[in-house]
Chain A
Amino acid sequence: MVKGKKDKLLDIFIYLFLIIAAFIVIYPLFVMVSTSLKTNMEVLVNPFGLPTEFNLDGYRYVLEVAGFPTFFRNSIIITAVSLFVLLLVSVMASYPLSRFTFRGNRMIYFYFIIGAMLPARLATVNMYQIINALGLFDTLFALILIYIAMTIPISIFIIAGFMAELPRELDESARIDGASDSRILFSIWVPLLRPALATVAIFNFIPIWNEFFFPLIFISSDQWKPLPLGIAQFFGQYQSDWPTAFAALTIAILPPLIFYLMASKHFIKGLTAGALKG
């Protein structure tokens, strides 16, 4: 179809709109990175421009003095362990729920799914009592348990939904060959489920990595703080030292940003699909 003059004018307006939107997204990130490289003096004199010379003091301070490597380590352990156990448990639960017919199947499935409708934070008071009773207060394990519980519903929903659409013949022929249930699950299903597992991993990676509320409640000592909690406390103290504050924020924001830019298509698909299904 040939575009008329009116359509071309409209296109120009749309580009303008998109450029403004992109600018609004990128500008705060630009301010963050460029301020982190300035000196305190330059922040006052030259708030908009690029830094005239790279001042890495803020980064040095954050990495060497402020304990950021520890916060990073904690965040990585929490996220990795939570995601691994989450995937394992969700796959094992989804398999019978989507492939076997038995009494109460639908009931158990809905029991899981209801969890996706409710914010986990509403149960914080009860969690607090449970975690205390288990003697897990101020441990990484407390957070890992909560995150797994929090993400199981949506993960089972996605994985079981994906499994239900795959053809039945696959496991039937394996069963005739005498393979056990666990064998069928891990050698036949798991490889086929890779797209669904990737969606689940991406969908849950972001909220777990960024979670702040539960660490605020359950972690008190510095050595177990994950990144967001470490930053919050650091930010309170260094708010007036702009380059250092922004250096800390830059360091914390970079890992998910880099992940995203490397695999933006998967992220957009994973996060959108997860949200649409939930």
Chain B
Amino acid sequence: MTFIGLDNFRRLLLEEPYSVRFFNAVGNTFEFFAYTMVFQNVTALLLALALTRGLKFTGFFRTVIFIPVTLSLLMIGFVWTLMLNPNIGVINEVLTMIGLENLTRAWLGSETWALPVVTMVNAWQYTGLMVMLFVAGIQGIPEERYEAARIDGARGWAMFRHITLPPLYPIIGIVTIMTYMGVFNQFDLVYAMVGSTGGPRYSVDVLGTFFYRTAFGGSGGQMPQMGLGAAIATMTFLFIAVAVCFFLYLSHLRAKGDR
């Protein structure tokens, strides 16, 4: 191995086709993150609120909703790939059955749909974990605060906005940073559902699959380029490090504000 200075970074950022693939993968990774925040984490917060109202069967629902967390993302990806099969997959069959035939499509073969669908499957897997983090946060809020707010006449949205939500900010921070790190580490699900080439015309290509393809030559008959791969990993590291520092800075600010 010879030392070539920053040449790998120059190629990655400036030389085609690497630069195009790289910025595409960065864009897809952020898109993946945005979809996951909505599909997974908003759902998780709603489920956590539903599970902390002291209703009957809460324990049962909690157990069920957590099941996917323990399963392999890869195998879940395979199961959903079969269910999304355009010819005999259950998803299109259900749409046809309820009269929405014009919505059926080759989900994973579509440049527009493949990424959102993959993020939804990812959300299917991890919502349960985020639910439990939110539940832990909500259960830490003392009952007296609700009592006091109730006496002051707070109901519904106002109650959520002013009593439940503020103590959850640290949890929301943890959930966000976990989601972010998970997305920058994403590989298994994309590999299982659309392959290491990143789906139709690279529309689901994230940094994880781009790194794998480049460094270890997963497909396409290219020679593995470990140096370039290491440059991709370093860029990924920078994205994560910046976010983690920002997160720590924010929690530091909050801790100061509380004092």
Interface residues of A (CB under 8 A from B): 11, 14-15, 17-18, 21-22, 24-26, 28-29, 31-32, 35, 43-44, 47-48, 117-119, 121-126, 128, 206, 209-210, 212-213, 216-217, 228, 231-232, 235, 239, 242, 245-246, 249, 252-253, 256-257, 259-261, 264, 267-268, 271-272, 275-276
The answer to whether residues A125 and B226 also contact, given A14-B53, A217-B216 and a CB cut-off of 8 A, is: yes
B136 touches A245 (CB 8 A): no
Apart from A21-B65, A125-B230, what are 10 other A-B pairs with CB-CB below 8 Å?
A28-B79, A28-B83, A47-B90, A118-B240, A122-B233, A212-B187, A232-B74, A246-B79, A256-B71, A257-B70
Residues of chain B in range 53-103 having any CB-CB distance to chain A below 8 Å? 53, 55, 57, 61-76, 78-80, 82-83, 88, 90, 93
Name the prevailing secondary structure of the B interface residues.
Answer: helix
Q: Can you show 28 pairs from A to B with CB atoms below 8 A apart?
A: A17-B50, A18-B50, A25-B68, A25-B124, A25-B128, A28-B76, A28-B124, A31-B79, A32-B79, A119-B240, A122-B236, A123-B233, A124-B229, A125-B226, A209-B72, A212-B74, A213-B188, A228-B75, A231-B74, A231-B75, A232-B74, A232-B191, A245-B78, A249-B78, A257-B70, A257-B71, A271-B132, A276-B174
Name the contact of A21 in the complex, choosing from B47, B133, B188, B244 (C-beta under 8 A): B47
Say whether A272 contacts B136, CB under 8 Å. yes
A271–B129 CB distance below 8 A: yes
Interface flag for B210 (CB, 8 Å): no
Among the stretches B177-185, B197-205, B249-257, the one at the interface with A is: B177-185
A209 to B69, CA, bound (A): 13
B72 partner residues in chain A, CB cutoff 8 A: 209-210, 212, 228, 252-253, 256
B116 within 8 A of A: no
4 smallest CB-CB distances across A and B, nearest first, come from A210-B72, A272-B132, A119-B185, A260-B70
Contacts of A271 in B (CB 8 A): 69-70, 129, 132
**Interface magnitude class on chain B:** 35 or more
